Structure 1
Amino acid sequence: MVFSSLAFLFFFLPIALLIYYSSPSKLRNVVLLLVSLFFYAWGEPVYIILLLFSALSDYWHGQKIATYRNFNQRRAKSFLISSIIINVTLLSFFKYVDFLIENINALFGSSFSLLELPLPIGISFYTFQTMSYCISIYQGKTTAKNNPIDVATYVSLFPQLIAGPIVRYTHIEKQLSQRPFTRSQFVSGIKFFIIGLAKKVLLANNISLLWENVNQQPIEQLSVAMAWLGMVAFAFHIYFDFSGYSDMAIGLGKMFGFDFPENFHYPFISKSMSEFWRRWHMTLGSWFRDYVYIPLGGNRNGHVRWIRNLLIVWGITGLWHGASWNFVIWGLYFALLIYLEKGAWFQRIPSIFKHVYFIVFILIGWVFFAIVDVHEIMAYLQIMAGIKVDQWIDTMFMYQVSNYGVVLFLCLIASLPVRITWFQRWPLYLRSSVSFLYYSLLMLLSTAYLVNDAFNPFIYFRF
C-alpha cells in the first residue's frame, strides 16, 4: 500500500486514525504497532517476521548495553558490536548477496546461481533506525526502553517505515511515551500530507513521463538537448517523488502526535555539492556523518585519512542506494566533487557561477543514478558532452518541451523557496479562507488524478 492510493486515503488512514484516537492513551503504542504491521503486511506479509526480529533483537541488545555501560564498558561495547553485525548482516544478505555472487562469477568465471531474494521493503531505512537505538544507548544519549512494544512501535511506525525519513530514536524518544493531541499539530499534519501528495501525484508522476520518453529512445539517437532535458526531468521526478513521500510521512507523523525531522530543504538552490547534501535526504546525510564519518576521524587526522574517510563514506552511501556499480560510482562522484570544492580556488568563484557549476554537475551525477549499465552511462554522458552526435537540438526536443513546458515550469517554481510576502498582510480570516481553498483544491486535483492513474510506487521503495 502506498500513501498516494485511494485505498490508503479513504480507507486505511481514516480507520487507523479512528481506532487510534478511540483507544486509551496507554494502549496507543499497541494500536499503532498493530496498524503499522498491517500496513507493512499489505505488501510484505512474509517479512513482518524480519521486521519484528530486528526490533526485538535491538531491544534485547539495548537492555544489555544499558546494563553494562556504566561498569563494564568492554562488555557493553561487545553487545553494541553484536547488534551492528546482526543488522548489517541482515541488510547485506537480502540486498547485496546477489551483487556479490554476480561479481564473483565475473571475476573467477564461476557459475554460482543467484538467490533472487525479493528485497524487503524499507529494510535500508528501518535497519538504520534500529542501529541508532543501540548506538544512542551506548553513547549515553538515551536510556533503554523497558517495554519491547515501545521499541517495536518505533521501528515499525508506518508513516516513515518504507522510505524514511530516517528517524533516530533520540528524535522521538519522549513522544513514544507521551504525545498529547493538539488541533494545531493535526491541522499542520494534514497540510504537510496534502503538499506531499500533490508533489507526488501532480508533479512527480507527470514529469516522470518526460523522462520515460527520453529513456525509451536509443541513446545514440538522442540530441544533446534531449539528453540534458532527460536529466532535468529525472532530477525533478526523483526530487518531487522522494520529498513528496517525506512530506506525507512528516504529515502523518504529526497526525499521530510525532515530530519527524525535515528531510529536504530546497536542494536545487545549492551552490555546491556539499550544500546540496545538507539539503537533500538530510536524515541520511546526518546519519552517515554522525555514525560513520566522524567515528572514522572526519577531517581531523591529516589529508590522506580525510580522503580515505570521504571515499569510504561516499562509497557506502552509493552502495546503500542500490546493489550495483553505478550507485558506487555515483557516490564516489560526489566524494570527488566535495574534495575539489574544499580548495581555496572554489571559494573565489562568484556565487552565480557556483550555482551554474552545481546545476551542470548535479545533472551529470543523476546519469549514474538513473542508468544502471555502465556502458550506457558512458554513452549518455558522451551525448551530453556533444561527442559524436549528429544534432544538438532536434524536433523531438522541441516537441517534448512544448508538451511538458507547463509541468517543467511548475516543477521549477515548486523547487524554489518562493515566498508571497503580501499574502501575510491580509486579514487572518481571509488568509484562512484562501489557505483552506488552496489545500482543498490540491487534494481534489490529486484525488481526481488518482482515480484514473495506474499504480505508480515511490521511486525510493526499491532502495
Structure 2
Amino acid sequence: MLFSSTIFVFLFLPMVLIFYYGIFRNSRKLKNIFLLLASLFFYAWGEPTFVLVMIMSIICNYYFGLKVDKYKNDKRKAKSVIVIMLIFNLTIMFIFKYLMFTLTNIKYIKGLNFNIPNIALPIGISFFTFQAISYVIDVYRGNGKVQKNPLNVGLYISFFPQLIAGPIVRYETIAEQIENRHENFEDFSKGTCRFIIGLGKKMLLANTLALVADYAFSVKSSELSVVMAWLGALAYTFQIFFDFSGYSDMAIGLGLMFGFKFLENFNYPYISKSISEFWRRWHISLGTWFRDYVYFPLGGSRVNSKKRLVFNLFVVWSLTGLWHGANWTFIVWGLMYFVLITLEKLTKFDQKLGWFGHVYTMLFVILGWVLFRADNISYGIGYIKSMFAMSGNMFMDISAKLYFLENRYFYLGATLCSLPLKNIIGKKTNLNSKVADGLYTVMTLLLFVISVSYIVKGSYNPFIYFNF
C-alpha cells in the first residue's frame, strides 16, 4: 500500500486514526495492539505471504532480546546470542535478497549449468531486518530496556509509517516511546503538515522528473545526446532525493500523528561541500546505523594505523553498497564512495577546496546516481561517456529540447526545494509570526489539494526504495 495512494489517504489512514483516538483512546496497551495489527495489515496488503516472514522475525528477535537480557552479566553467553541473532537475521536477508545474485555469479564464474530459483523480494526487508538487529544489540548494550511483551517488539519492527522505506529507526531512540509516549494536538498538527510536504515532494517533483529519467535510461547510451544524458542524470538525482526524502517526511509526519518522534533522515544533502558531508546529510539513519553497529565496533577512525582505517572504511562502504541491492552497480557505487571518503580522511584535501568543494561533490554524486540507476556497469559507463561527449554522440537532439521545455519549471522547483529555503527566507524577511503561520497553513492546504489531484488522476507513482 503506497502512502501516495487514494486507498491510504482516504481510507486506511482515516480509519486507523478514528480507531486510535476514538475507540482505544483510553488504553495505551490497546493502542499498541491496534497499531501492530494495522501495521501487519498494511504490509500484508501488498505482501500477503511475506507477512509471515516478518512475524517470524518478530518472534525470533523477541526471544533473542530476552536471552541477551538474561545473560547481561555473562558477556560470553550474551555475545554468543548476538552472533546467533546476526546469523539468523542476515541469513533471511541473504536468501531473499542475495541468493539469486550469488548463484548467478557462481554459475558464470565456474561455467556451471544449473537452474537458479526465482525468489521474490519482500518489500522493505532491509529496513525491518536492520531494525530487528538494532533491537537486540541495543538491549545488549543497555541502550533500551528489553520488552517482555512480544507485541511491543512487533510494533517496533513492523510500525507501518517506517516499515517499507525507512527511516531506519534504532531501538534506543524510541524504546521509551513505545509505552510512554504522549500524543498532543501540536505534534499531530506538525505531523499532518510534514506528511503533506512529503506527499508534495513525491507527487509533484519525484514522479514528474521520474518520467524524464526513465526515458533517458531506456535509450541506448551511445544514442543519447549530451544534453539528454545530463537531463536524465539530473532528473534521477532529483527523483531519488525527493522520492526518498518525501517518503521519510511522510513517515516522520505519520509517526508524530501517533506520538512517535523519529530522527531526521535528510538534511539538505545537495548543499554539501564534501563527500563526507554529503553522507552526514543523506540517508542519515542508514549512515548512523553502519557507524554505530559496524564502523565503531571495528575501531572507527580511532585506530593505530592508516591501513586499519582504510580497512574499516572498506567494510562499511562495501556493505553500504550491497545493502542497496544485489547488483554489481550498487557494489561499485559503494566502492566509489569508499575511495572518495578515504581520500578525504587521509589527505583532508576537501577542506581546501572552498566553493569548488560543492562542484566536486555534486559531480561525483550525480555520476554515482548514474551507476546506481543503470541496469549494469557497462550501461552506466556508457551513459557517463555520453554525458561528456565521449561516445561520438551529438550535443542536443529533439528529445532533449522537448523534455527540457516540458519540465524546466520542475527542474527549477526541484533545485529551489533542495535548498534550506525556510532558513533563507526567515533571515531575509521580518514577517509577523501570525502572518507567517497563516501563509504556511494556506500553502500547505494548497499543496495537499494539488497532490491529491495528482493521486486521483492516477499519475506515474513508483517508490524507488521499496526495492531495498
Band the TM-score falls in, shorter-chain normalisation: over 0.9
Q: Cα deviation per residue 1:340-379 (whole Å; 9 max; x = unaligned)?
A: 2224461453321111111111111111100021211121
Task: Please name the residue that 2:40 is paired with.
Answer: 37
Out of 369, 374, 378, the residue aligned to residue 377 of structure 2 is 374
CA contact (8 A) 2:161 2:251 kept: yes
Task: Please name the residue that 2:294 is paired with.
Answer: 292
Task: Please name the residue that 2:437 is paired with.
Answer: 432
Task: Please name the residue that 1:420 is paired with.
Answer: 425
CA distance in 2, matches of 1:324, 1:101: 12
CA contact (8 A) 1:223 1:389 kept: no
Q: Cα deviation per residue 1:71-102 (whole Å; 9 max; x = unaligned)?
A: x2111111111111100000001100100110
Q: How does 1:235-254 map to 2 (within 5 A)?
A: 235-254=237-256
Residue identity matched to 1:32: L
Out of 346, 349, 357, the residue aligned to residue 349 of structure 2 is 346
CA distance in 1, matches of 2:144, 2:7: 38
Deviation at 1:260, TM superposition (A): 0.6
Deviation at 1:13, TM superposition (A): 0.2
CA-atom RMSD, angstroms? Answer: 1.5
Task: Please name the residue that 1:152 is paired with.
Answer: 154
In structure 2, relative to structure 1, the CA distance for the partners of 1:112 and 1:30 (3 Å cut) is: same
Q: Which moved more, 1:358-367 or 1:1-10?
A: 358-367
Deviation at 1:385, TM superposition (A): 2.9
Task: Please name the residue that 1:441 is paired with.
Answer: 446
Out of 400, 403, 406, the residue aligned to residue 403 of structure 2 is 400
Q: Which moved more, 1:135-144 or 1:437-446?
A: 135-144
Deviation at 1:206, TM superposition (A): 0.4
Task: Please name the residue that 1:358 is paired with.
Answer: 361
In structure 2, relative to structure 1, the CA distance for the partners of 1:375 and 1:426 (3 Å cut) is: closer
Give the secondary structure class of the aligned counterpart of 1:4.
coil
- TM value normalised by structure 2: 0.96
Q: Cα deviation per residue 1:43-83 (whole Å; 9 max; x = unaligned)?
A: 0111111111111111111111111111x211111111111
Matched, 1:459 2:461: no
CA distance in 2, matches of 1:372, 1:285: 25
Residue identity matched to 1:242: F
- TM value normalised by structure 1: 0.97
In structure 2, relative to structure 1, the CA distance for the partners of 1:282 and 1:422 (3 Å cut) is: closer
CA distance in 1, matches of 2:429, 2:38: 39
Matched, 1:26 2:16: no
Q: Which moved more, 1:427-436 or 1:267-276?
A: 427-436
Percent identity, please. Answer: 45
CA contact (8 A) 2:58 2:154 kept: yes
CA contact (8 A) 1:424 1:431 kept: no
Q: How does 1:114-125 map to 2 (within 5 A)?
A: 114-125=116-127
CA distance in 2, matches of 1:388, 1:155: 48
CA distance in 1, matches of 2:462, 2:387: 29
Deviation at 1:423, TM superposition (A): 8.5
CA distance in 2, matches of 1:350, 1:328: 28
Deviation at 1:431, TM superposition (A): 2.7
Deviation at 1:212, TM superposition (A): 1.7
Give the secondary structure class of the aligned counterpart of 1:342.
helix
Structure 1: any 5+ residue segments left out of the alignment?
Answer: none
Q: Cα deviation per residue 1:136-195 (whole Å; 9 max; x = unaligned)?
A: 111122221111111111111000000100001111111101122211000000011000
CA distance in 2, matches of 1:348, 1:437: 42
Matched, 1:166 2:168: yes
Residue identity matched to 1:109: G
Task: Please name the residue that 2:86 is paired with.
Answer: 84
CA contact (8 A) 1:61 1:134 kept: yes
Out of 66, 71, 80, the residue aligned to residue 68 of structure 1 is 71
List structure 1 segments (4+ residues) > 4 angstroms apart after TM superposition: none
Give the secondary structure class of the aligned counterpart of 1:42.
helix
CA distance in 1, matches of 2:396, 2:309: 43
Q: Cα deviation per residue 1:186-222 (whole Å; 9 max; x = unaligned)?
A: 0000011000000000110001111122122221111
CA contact (8 A) 2:207 2:462 kept: no
Instruction: Tell me the matched-pair count.
Output: 462
Task: Please name the residue that 1:187 is paired with.
Answer: 189
In structure 2, relative to structure 1, the CA distance for the partners of 1:348 and 1:156 (3 Å cut) is: closer
Task: Please name the residue that 1:305 is paired with.
Answer: 308
Give the secondary structure class of the aligned counterpart of 2:352.
coil
Task: Please name the residue that 1:326 is paired with.
Answer: 329
Q: Cα deviation per residue 1:307-326 (whole Å; 9 max; x = unaligned)?
A: 11111111111111000111
Residue identity matched to 2:463: F
Structure 2: any 5+ residue segments left out of the alignment?
Answer: none
Deviation at 1:430, TM superposition (A): 2.7
CA contact (8 A) 1:154 1:169 kept: yes
In structure 2, relative to structure 1, the CA distance for the partners of 1:429 and 1:401 (3 Å cut) is: same
CA distance in 1, matches of 2:427, 2:341: 39
CA contact (8 A) 1:224 1:389 kept: no
CA contact (8 A) 2:267 2:281 kept: yes
CA contact (8 A) 2:321 2:332 kept: yes
CA distance in 1, matches of 2:429, 2:187: 20
Residue identity matched to 1:393: M
